Structure 1
Amino acid sequence: MARIPETDGSGEIADRIRERRGGNLHSLDRMLLHSPQLADGWNSLLGAIRQRIALPAAIRELVILRIAVLNRAPYEWAAHERPAREAGLRESQLAAVREESPALDERLRRVIAYTDAMTRDVHVPDELFDALRADFSDGELVELTATVAAYNMVSRFLVALDV
């Protein structure tokens, strides 16, 4: 059970979140709505990451699931497993995200290594960043970095409040 009760989710900001979510509020949203202005900014940031950037959906979802594993955030895994499958990730790839398995191709292993470095150590070794340059444009590298950073924020919020 969450450490803070969920809000009812009323008002203009809650309506904007519902619109982005296809009509429903999630438990995360109901927690954030204790601070409507925070919820509004969160919705804008995560809406951009989920719906308006060039980074491929499969990469985004791979990153999110890896962060869920690293930060022990089962809510986040449950919320993103279906979108990961819809984005084209196979069962073997989902298992590899959980187990640090070599079942991923080189590009996806580099994405996992980047996610791990940012999540565990914050610092990213130059060699790893330089290797990713072959896989992504500068804009995509910015989007990848923002996705890792944002979903670390999400998972830490969820875990701290026991959502």
Structure 2
Amino acid sequence: MARVVPATGIGEVADRVRARRGGHLTPLDEALLHSEPFADGWNTLLGAVRSNMDLPGELRELAICRVADLNSAEYEWRAHAPLALREGMSAEQVAALRDGADSTPLTPRQLLVRDYTDAMTRTVSVDDELSNRLHSELGTQQFVELTGTIAAYNMVSRFLVALHVGQQRQTEESEVTA
């Protein structure tokens, strides 16, 4: 059960969140709206991460799903695994993002992104060789965008897990978390 009751979802900030979400609020939004300044900043940041960058959607969702799995944020996983499929990943590739799963279905580029996501999430520090390989593969803009996406979704997953957000709705598979 969630550790905070849902906020009312009334006001300008809630309206901006609804506008980004296509007219509805998620349990995550209902938790964030207990602090309107925080919810407003979150909405702006995650809106940019989700829809205003050049990073390919497949790599964005790969990183988000991997972060969700590593941080045991099942609500986030359930929201983003279907998005990874819509962005072109196969079901086998998405399954390979689970910790300890067979990584054979992943392409070399996907493995590189997975390894970078693992380093940022598990140890924070990324070794130079891995960082340089990924930077070379993606170019500076996408490298920065991927790094920001991983950092942002570590924030999302930690918020979700700490406050038990979405646990009461574990059967809903299609909600978007951030």
Scaled by the length of structure 1, the TM-score of the pair is 0.98
1:84-136 Cα deviation digits (max 9, x unpaired): 11111111101110125232011100000000000000000001011112320
1:58-101 Cα deviation digits (max 9, x unpaired): 10000000011100000001111221111111111011101252
Matched residue of 1:25: which SS?
coil
Preserved CA contact (<8 Å) 1:72 1:159? yes
Preserved CA contact (<8 Å) 1:102 1:109? no
Range that drifts further, 28-37 or 126-135: 126-135
Preserved CA contact (<8 Å) 1:13 1:39? yes
1:42 maps to 42
1:103 maps to 105
Matched residue of 1:135: which SS?
helix
1:71 maps to 71
Question: Could you list the runs of 5+ residues in structure 2 that have no partner in the other structure?
Answer: 166-178
1:30 maps to 30
1:123 maps to 125
2:145 maps to 143
The letter of the residue matching 1:124 is V
Identity of aligned residues (%): 55
The letter of the residue matching 2:42 is W
Matched residue of 2:137: which SS?
coil
Counterpart-to-counterpart distance in 1, 2:135 and 2:18: 37
1:18-44 Cα deviation digits (max 9, x unpaired): 000011100000000000010000000
What is the RMSD computed on CA atoms of the aligned residues? 0.8
Counterpart-to-counterpart distance in 1, 2:90 and 2:107: 12
Preserved CA contact (<8 Å) 1:65 1:80? yes
Runs of 4 or more, structure 1, over 3 Å off, are none
Question: Could you list the runs of 5+ residues in structure 1 that have no partner in the other structure?
Answer: none
- 2:36 aligned with 1:20: no
